[in-house]
Amino acid sequence: MKNILSFGLTSLVSVALAQVAPTVDLGYEIHGATVNTTGDYYLFSSVPYAQQPVGDLRFQKPVALSEKTNGTVNNGSTTTMCMQAYPAWILALQAQAYGVDEATIEAILASQPGQTESCLVLDVYVPAAVFNKSVAETPVLLWIHGGGFTSGSKISSGSPAGLIARSQLSNESEVIFVSINYRLGMFGWLAGDDVTPNLGLYDQRMAMEWVQKYISRFGGDPNKLTVMGESAGASSILHHITGYGGAVSAPFQRAISQSPAFQFNINTTKTYDLTLDVASNVTEMTISSVEQLKSLDLATLQAINQRVVIQAMQGTFNYGIVTDGTYVPKTPQVLLLEGKFDHSVNVMASHMSNESIPFIPSSLTTAANIQAYLTSSLPQATPETIAYILQTVYPDVLDGTYPWTTEFARAATIASEINFACSTNYLATAFANKTYNYVFSYPPGYHAADLPYIFFNGDTTTADDGLPVNETLAHALQDYIVAFVQTGKPQAEGLVDFPEYGSEAAVLDFTYGGVVRGVDDLANPRCDWIQQAMAEGLI
């Protein structure tokens, strides 16, 4: 699964400069671009969007930059990503995918260049024609990467050159692309009484606010901002739509949420205690507070972060978004049900046909194993609730009455619907069925297998699970995305009409045979029950 959890190991390679690179005065620095002559766009790389979270700002909310130009030109030539960490089950999948042992893949990933705490930066890709017009009217697409909130970066999903090229071919305006870093693992998602939870969410929001304030200097329209994300990035978007329980507007106008991933078994107390226990073991001192963590050197913190994350059970990462009573007063699923969200956002959402296959143990082939797995996955659920889920919501009936005919397929359906897919149906329902939803069924249909399509750049040999990218499907998906960013409606010339979700739960399905219209498989009583159970605190 080389693209599992938006984790890709791809890197951005700039084309040689063939003309003078432009600069932008941001008030706090002058930032220079590189020129991509093949794609006819400028790349402003590693632009700071906040003060860097080091020293006294470590484990604090992001702080805005002060506008004081120092006259120097920053060209963003240094690779920059936030500190990375990987659970053992991800290392095993990656080792298998690349044909090496787990120790080797762990060493490779741990030594990735560019890892730093000073990582609150973003990339801006601007078509040359847009920048040279000096008119702030171009729509903007901001990408939030996935990676389980413990890995990934602004370039880990791939280059947006293909998306930019499709926008240049359209009858509408071109598109500016922005990709962001945000703090990961312990650095961005540690929660406890002496630390602000969900720092990574605040990072993301500050990046969006940076776009609102500065994108006009690149030719972008701050009132035409679409945020798009996959997996952890997609669930982040749901949290921004429902941020502060809807009391504060989302800092964007449109959203594309692709395979939103949720961890419902994060125990903040357990993870906090585990972090301090690991810190004590690593340092051979008694570490009992975040203030003490804050004083440790970066190499030590990196070791602590990895040792906590590596212990996560399959399908989880130990760190991630938690309810905090402020930005996240309740889970998005509940806030959507209660109507507590920004109703003005225009939404497009998607899920994969086999989301959870890489996330669940292959041993889930018996009813007893499924019960044990579900109990550990939903620690808040009582034995009575677990029994109801397995007897009534997802009954052990394998005769084709339900969408499963084996115990493993039953387990996969449970994990897919609860942890990923049902949330896209909740978005549609909350927005009065006026969203645009699609399902990506092209084999294998695993979580994040659509990333090579979203970021397709013409290389059909780019493969996941042995299947080459279908160029026709890739261009269709990119054209729908670009059209949505441009107009709020994913309609493109020569393509199948993309229906509104509507009362019929209409979706587009990207299949092996092409793009077809269909009915959402998530408009089912199981998803309805899950959302209501969340609202009642049963799971």
Say whether the peptide bond before residue 332 is cis (omega within 30 degrees of 0): no
The torsion angles phi and psi of 88, rounded to 5 degrees, stand at -60, -35
For residues 178 and 122, the answer to whether their CB atoms sit within 8 Å is: yes
Let me know if 75 is exposed, middle or buried by CB neighbors in 10 A (0-12, 13-18, 19+): middle
Q: What are the catalytic residues?
A: 231, 355
Q: Annotate 488-499 with DSSP letters as a single string.
A: SS---TTS----
For residue 378, which of 248, 534, 216 has the smallest C-alpha distance? Answer: 534
The residues, any chain, with a CB within 8 Å of residue 468's CB and separated by 6 or more, are 460, 461, 462
Let me know if 110 is exposed, middle or buried by CB neighbors in 10 A (0-12, 13-18, 19+): middle
Q: Which helix (H) or strand (E) holds 384?
A: helix 383-388
Specify the 3-state DSSP secondary structure of 308. helix
Distance CA 457, CA 272 (A): 42
Exposure b/e, 493-502, CB count within 10 A at least 16 = b: eebeebbebe
Q: Annotate 407-436 with DSSP letters as a single string.
A: HHHHHHHHHHIIIIIHHHHHHHHHTTT-SE
Q: Annotate 184-240 with DSSP letters as a single string.
A: -HHHHH--BTTB-S-HHHHHHHHHHHHHHHHGGGGTEEEEEEEEEEETHHHHHHHHH
Q: Which helix (H) or strand (E) holds 94?
A: helix 88-98
* E runs forming strands in 288-399: 346-352
The residues, any chain, with a CB within 8 Å of residue 344's CB and separated by 6 or more, are 249, 250, 253
Distance CA 515, CA 438 (A): 10
Q: Percentage helix, strand, coil, to 5, in the chain?
A: 35, 15, 45
Distance CA 405, CA 216 (A): 54
Angle, helices 422-430/232-241, rounded to nearest 10 degrees: 20
Q: Which helix (H) or strand (E) holds 271?
A: helix 268-283
For residue 408, which of 358, 362, 352 has the smallest C-alpha distance? Answer: 362
Q: Extract the tokens encoding 478.
A: 């990119």
